[in-house]
Each structure stands twice: as structure tokens, then as C-alpha cells.
Amino acid sequence: MAPLSKLKSRAKNSVTTAATASSQNSTAPLPIAKSIDAARTRAKNCEACDLYKHATQTVFGEGARKPRIVFVGEQPGDQEDQQGRPFVGPAGKLLDTALEQAGIDRAKTYVTNTVKHFKWEPRGKRRIHKKPNGAEIAACRPWLDTEIALLKPRVVVCLGATAAQTLLGRTFRVTQSRGELLESALAPHIMATVHPSSILRAPDEESRHREMASFVADLKKLAKFAK
């Protein structure tokens, strides 16, 4: 197993490998740990980028041991950072509701993020989410590749543009291709849809309702993998 000090250079290489794999259908990247538990333990001490300095803890993925579906968000939010679990805040609650409406049991899936530390900036007493940059995404990439490689899901679902562009390439547009089941070297299928927080940000009740319905419709396409 590579020491943590080597993760940074490994991360840089693995971005190219995985991006190539997903866009050109070559081989999937190799895991950097032998099991999810081993990866989670190692990720606790990850210093491959500077985000660990201002985050409470690493928020690794969690869920079923043999999930058919792996959901990938962007990065933990304020509540996830405090609790150490992905998608437990407002966006996570909305995801839970949408999954229920789509007939998918979250406990049978695995939920993770592209970046495992909360990136934020202070605004008064609040910590405001800040989008991770390319170097931070690259540094974290080996953990995501490892989760997918070890879990071997039938479908990977990118929630929002950060996950989609990380796994499907920078030119991928969620607005154009949401809900499409695509082939990938990472898993038999990959799909991108909106991030649940985009629904929370909808300007009014009517558009929130409409966007929630479209999100649930995308998730329903996964129901056949959930069984």
C-alpha cells in the first residue's frame, strides 16, 4: 500500500487515467486500498490537498457493502462535516425523499462525494460552501476511484456538475444529458442528474415542485438496478 506522502503524485496520475477511462472506455483505475474499511481508515489522515486544514474531518462514503448503485455528490456540507457522514443535511434529506418517491432504498445503495473534505469560507458566523477546484478534485480522486473499483456497482450516479465532469469529462453538461444511462469503464452504466441542492435553491414553489418531479423521474430509471 502506498504511503500517504505518495498520494499526491498518485492523485495527479489517476485523474488522467480515470478521465481517459471514462471518456475513452479503456480500463478502470486500480484501487489504492484492499477494502472499503481500509480505505476509509486511511482517508481519515488524508493530506493530499489543503482542505483537511479547515475541515472537521474526512467524510468518506457510506452505505451497503455490495451496492448496485453508487451516488456521487460534490463535497460534504456543513452538517456532513460535523457528523462525518455524507448527505445528512438539507440536500441529503431531499435526496432521501426523492429516493423514496422513486422506490429506491438508500440503505441498499452507497453514497459518497467527489471531494471528501468540506470547503468553506466564513460569512459572519456561518460557513458558506465553496466549490472545490481542479487540484482539490484531482487530489481526492484516488479515494473515489477506490470506492467505485472495490464496490463494483452496476451503475454510478453523478449528482450535479462537479461529479459529472469529474467522471464523465469536463465538457459533459448535466443540463443536456441528464438522466441518460451511459457506458463507462468505471461501471457498466453511469448516469448524471442534478444535485439535490439545486432543487433547494429553486426560486419558487412551482419550479421546486417541477424540478423535484424531474429528479424523481431520473431516479426512477435506476429502479431496475436497485432490485
Q: Which residues bind ligand URA (CB under 6 A)?
A: 73-77, 80, 86-87, 89, 91-92, 113, 197
**Nearest distance from residue 147's CB to ligand URA, in Å?**
14
**Nearest distance from residue 81's CB to ligand URA, in Å?**
9
| Nearest CB to ligand URA, comparing residues 87 and 225 | 87
**Nearest distance from residue 36's CB to ligand URA, in Å?**
17
| Nearest CB to ligand URA, comparing residues 87 and 172 | 87
Q: In what order do the strands lie in the sheet with 62-63?
A: 62-63, 110-113, 69-73, 155-159, 189-193
- Angle value at C-alpha 99, between 94 and 101, nearest 5 degrees: 95
Q: For 171-180, which contacts have Cβ atoms below 8 Å and span 24 or more sequence positions?
A: 178/214, 178/218, 179/217, 179/218, 179/221
User: 120-123 and 62-63: which strand pairing?
Assistant: unpaired
DSSP, collapsed to helix, strand or coil, labels residue 220 as helix
| Nearest CB to ligand URA, comparing residues 184 and 197 | 197
Q: How far is CA 187 from the centre of its chain?
A: 14
**Nearest distance from residue 75's CB to ligand URA, in Å?**
6
Quick one: CA torsion of 106, 14, 42, 132, rounded to 10 degrees? -70
Residue number, nearest CB to ligand URA: 73
**Nearest distance from residue 87's CB to ligand URA, in Å?**
4
| Nearest CB to ligand URA, comparing residues 49 and 185 | 49
